[in-house]
Amino acid sequence: MCLLLDAPFLTYINNGVYHSKTVPSPTSSSTGQPSLALNNNMKLFVFAILIAVALAAYEPVVTIKDVAEAEPVVVPQPYSFGYNVKDDETFNDFYHAENADGNVVTGTYRVALPDGRTQIVTYKADKDGYTADVKFEGEAKYPEFVEQKVQKNY
């Protein structure tokens, strides 16, 4: 079925046969004024357009850009860890321990230096910054340099 609207007639094709009907006028027959149904439809249409315009002009308070640029909220977590390595074969000798209560981080680490000394660092980090106390144990020893003779074969 195919519909063709050609005012004031409605034409449709059914099984290859054209049919025409007269469409009643949207005006009231007695007063010549538009019918009440047309007025209500027009009011609904105008109301829908006003809502669409209002929604188009609405700007949300928080945008995606604001969320992406927002600083992440970091909640301090208490923790504690430590480890110790002493391997005479490779001369590795170091230690590290750290504790945090959520506001202040304290710790210490120790490492054997190549000159024979041991460096010990005790530190504290809080809202005022990082403070470290560095100490050395032992005495630095430097072996004498012995120049090796290079034999030239040319």
Pair 6, 49 in one domain: yes
Please state, in angstroms and as integers, the Cα–Cα distance from residue 117 to each residue in 8, 9, 141, following that order.
108, 108, 8
Task: Tell me, yes or no, whether 74 lies in a domain.
Answer: no
Task: Tell me, yes or no, whether 46 lies in a domain.
Answer: yes
Task: Tell me, yes or no, whether 67 lies in a domain.
Answer: no
Pair 128, 94 in one domain: yes
Lowest mean pLDDT among 59-68, 79-88, 115-124: 59-68
Mean of the per-residue pLDDT values for the chain? 78
Range of the domain at 22: 2-57
Beta-sheet pairing, 92-100 with 2-6 = unpaired
The CA distance from 125 to 108, in Å, is 12
The number of folded domains in the chain is 2
Pair 133, 83 in one domain: yes
Pair 83, 51 in one domain: no
Is the pLDDT reported for residue 65 higher than 80?
no
Task: Tell me, yes or no, whether 24 lies in a domain.
Answer: yes
Pair 52, 84 in one domain: no
Mean pLDDT of 19-31: 55
Task: Tell me, yes or no, whether 52 lies in a domain.
Answer: yes
Task: Tell me, yes or no, whether 29 lies in a domain.
Answer: yes
* Residue 75 backbone class (left: φ over 0; alpha: ψ -120 to 50; beta: rest): beta
Task: Tell me, yes or no, whether 144 lies in a domain.
Answer: no
Paired tokens of 45: 């249409």
Closest CA to 119 of 127, 109, 129, 128: 109
Task: Tell me, yes or no, whether 62 lies in a domain.
Answer: no
By the 8 A CB rule, do 13 and 19 touch?
Answer: yes
